[in-house]
Amino acid sequence: MTGRVFCPLCGDVIGAYEPLLVVGGGFARRSSLTREPMLGSGEDVIVHQACGLELGISGLEGGMSATSEPYSPDA
């Protein structure tokens, strides 16, 4: 990862140690930029964990699941 990574939902920078959600392929998982420094340079979308939870991405046994339609703050 080079430079700053911004949450597409709130527009704030995602800090290296902040909990985040990696969303892609119909699934979501928890991580951090410290754990996976190359996040933000691929096809998966990364968002603050709190922002994702507000959209209905919730933790389930055995993993995470997206339970709502994608959200655009501009809509």
| Structure tokens given for 28 | 């979501």
C-alpha distances (whole Å) from 21 to each of 50, 55 are: 9, 12
pLDDT at 70 over 60: no
pLDDT at 62 over 80: no
C-alpha distances (whole Å) from 66 to each of 30, 33, 51, 56 are: 12, 21, 12, 7
Summarize the confidence of residues 58-71 as an average pLDDT: 44
For the question of whether the overall pTM of this predicted structure is more than 0.85, the answer is no
Closest CA to 11 of 53, 39, 55, 47: 47
pLDDT tens sequence across 9-38: 999 999 999 999 998 888 889 999 999 988
Three-point CA angle 3, 28, 30, nearest 5°: 65
